[in-house]
């Protein structure tokens, strides 16, 4: 259970029970800010699973998908060579790596983007990242049904190394990614079990409809950098509803891209562990 869960629990239980709070949609006029470049750049150790996505920011109430940025020259420099990415023919602003390219644990990568026209006065954007080593020694996972919260809980049995580690957990059902948006993944540090056996720590909580008995569930465990963990945490915090008892003031998401662009260039290795989902009654929390 991480801090967000503790907070959420307190908020829900206490507020729900004592306060007659009401919520309604309201109209607010917001100002516009100048457009900026948004970079989503990911290198993994799985073939065909690396990309760079370039889009633009939009007005808050624009209510349509973001506009892709085409015709950029994107280069990735590794410790021994430089590769150039190709833009996908059908998805505007989506740039692909050569299929055989995979990230290597412990390697450094640089990203260099050159646009054919300025965004917020800039055409060149750069970023650096390093792929961490896979650290956990995973024994097994368990999928259990929690009747109280009416949710599936994914439990991890693994030995955490003594180093300071940051994890990202994704869920895959019968080969299809369930955590298909960054706000659905779980980010954890090892503060509470550093160097110890994790004893079935809850690493993902999924809604009733997201799994069914008989499914094959796969947990994807990735070691991520501390900075990327903070970045994802920030996104998850900012899209959550604020309330005056616990929330700090809203704040912009950090970035590791230069020249005023938003987004993150990240690299991480992933370990997969699968299990069959049992009937709800057969599982024990």
Partner 1 sequence: MQRIFLILLILAAVFPAQASKEPKGKFTLSGFVKDADNGEMLPGATIYVKEVKAGAATNTYGFYSISLEPGTYHIIFSFVGYANIEKTIDLNNNRSLNINLKPSTEYLSEIEITGKAKNDNITQAQMSVNKIDSKTIQAIPALMGEVDLIKALQLLPGVKFAAEGSSGFSVRGGSPDQNLVLLDEATVYNAGHLMGFFSVFNNDAVKNVELYKGDLPAKYGGRLSSLVDVRMKDGNKKEFHGNGGIGLISSRLTLEGPIVQNKGSFMVSGRRSYADLFLKLSSKEELKNNILYFYDLNTKMNYNLNQNNHLFISGYFGKDVFKNKEFGMNWGNATGTARWNHVFNDKLFSNFTFIASNFSYNLGLTNEHGFDWTSNLTDYNLKGDFNWYLNSNNTISFGFSSIYHDFFPGEIKGTGTESFITEYGLPNNYALENGVYITNVQKIGSLISLKYGLRISMFNNIGPNTVFNYDSIGQPLDSTVYGKGDFYNTYFGFEPRLGAVFRLNESSSVKASYSRNYQYLQQAQNSTAGSPLSIWFSSSPNIKPQYSDQFALAYFRNFENNKFEGSIEAYYKDIKNAIDFRDHAELLLNKYIEGEILTGRAYGYGIEFLLRKNSGKLNGWVSYTYSRTYRQIDGINSGVAYRAPYDRPHDISVVLNYNLNEQISLGLTWVYLTGQPITFPVGRFVYGNTVVPFYSGRNDYRMPDYHRLDLSVTWREKLNPGKKWHNEFNFSIYNAYNRKNAWIINFQSDTKDPSITYAEMTYLFGIIPSFTYNFKF
- When binding is defined by CB under 8 A, the residue of 89, 209, 249, 281 that contacts partner 1 is 249
* Least Å from the CB of residue 5 to partner 1: 10
CA-to-CA distance for 44 and 269, rounded, in angstroms?
Answer: 6
Whose CA is closest to 211, among 124, 145, 135? 145
Binding mask 171-200 for partner 1 (x = CB under 8 A): ---------xxxx-x-----xxxx-x-xxx
How many residues can be counted in the chain? Answer: 285
Which residues have CB under 8 Å from 177's CB, separation 6+? Answer: 170, 171
Binding mask 10-29 for partner 1 (x = CB under 8 A): x--xxxxxxxxxxxxxxxx-
Q: Which helix H or strand E contains 251, and what residues bound it?
A: none
Which residues have CB under 8 Å from 19's CB, separation 6+? Answer: none
* Least Å from the CB of residue 82 to partner 1: 25
Per-position b or e across 161-177, b if 16+ CB within 10 A of its CB: eeeebbbbbbbbbeeee
Per-position b or e across 230-261, b if 16+ CB within 10 A of its CB: bbbbebbbeeeeeeeeeeeeeeeeebbbbbeb
**By the rule CB under 8 A, 279 interacts with partner 1:** no
- When binding is defined by CB under 8 A, the residue of 89, 148, 175, 209 that contacts partner 1 is 148
Count of beta carbons in the 10 Å neighbourhood of residue 205: 16
Which residues have CB under 8 Å from 234's CB, separation 6+? Answer: 251, 253, 254
- When binding is defined by CB under 8 A, the residue of 89, 90, 209, 248 that contacts partner 1 is 248
* Least Å from the CB of residue 81 to partner 1: 28
Binding mask 196-215 for partner 1 (x = CB under 8 A): x-xxxxx-------------
- Both structure tokens of 195: 């160097």
* Least Å from the CB of residue 28 to partner 1: 5
* Least Å from the CB of residue 79 to partner 1: 25
CA-to-CA distance for 148 and 155, rounded, in angstroms?
Answer: 16
CA-to-CA distance for 170 and 55, rounded, in angstroms?
Answer: 24
Q: Which is nearer to partner 1, 66 or 213 (CB)?
A: 66
Residues 26-65 that bind partner 1 (CB under 8 A): 26-28, 30-33, 35-36, 38, 40, 55-65
* Least Å from the CB of residue 218 to partner 1: 19
Tell me the CA end-to-end span of the chain in Å, nearest whole number.
14
Q: Which is nearer to partner 1, 14 or 140 (CB)?
A: 14
- When binding is defined by CB under 8 A, the residue of 112, 210, 212, 234 that contacts partner 1 is 234
- When binding is defined by CB under 8 A, the residue of 49, 51, 66, 101 that contacts partner 1 is 66
* Least Å from the CB of residue 196 to partner 1: 5
Q: Which stretch binds partner 1 (CB under 8 A): 8-16, 70-78, 81-89, 215-223?
A: 8-16
* Least Å from the CB of residue 60 to partner 1: 4
């Amino acid at each position: 259970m991480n801090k967000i869960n503790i907070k959420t629990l307190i908020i829900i239980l206490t507020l729900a029970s004592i306060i007659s709070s009401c919520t309604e949609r309201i109209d607010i006029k917001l100002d516009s800010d100048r457009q900026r470049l948004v970079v989503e750049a990911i290198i993994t150790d799985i073939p065909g699973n690396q990309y760079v996505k370039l889009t633009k920011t939009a007005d808050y109430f624009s209510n349509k998908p973001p506009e892709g940025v085409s015709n950029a020259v994107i280069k990735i420099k590794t410790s021994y060579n430089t590769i150039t990415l190709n833009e996908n023919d059908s998805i505007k602003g989506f740039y692909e790596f050569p299929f055989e390219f995979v990230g290597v644990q412990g390697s450094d990568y640089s990203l260099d983007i050159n646009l054919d026209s300025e965004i917020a006065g800039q055409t060149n954007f750069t970023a650096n990242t390093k792929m961490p080593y896979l650290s956990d020694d995973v024994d097994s996972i368990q999928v259990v049904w929690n009747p109280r919260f009416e949710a599936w809980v994914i439990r991890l049995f693994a030995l955490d190394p003594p180093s300071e580690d940051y994890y990202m957990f994704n869920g895959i059902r019968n080969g299809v990614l369930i955590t298909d948006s960054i706000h659905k993944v779980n980010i954890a540090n090892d503060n509470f079990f550093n160097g110890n056996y994790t004893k079935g720590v809850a690493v993902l909580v999924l809604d009733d409809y997201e799994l069914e008995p008989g499914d094959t569930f796969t947990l994807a465990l990735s070691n991520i950098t501390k900075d990327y963990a903070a970045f994802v945490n920030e996104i998850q915090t900012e899209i959550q509803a604020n309330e005056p008892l616990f929330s700090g003031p809203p704040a912009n998401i950090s970035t590791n891209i230069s020249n005023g662009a938003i987004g993150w260039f990240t690299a991480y290795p992933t370990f997969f562990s699968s299990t069959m989902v049992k009937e709800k009654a057969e599982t024990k929390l």
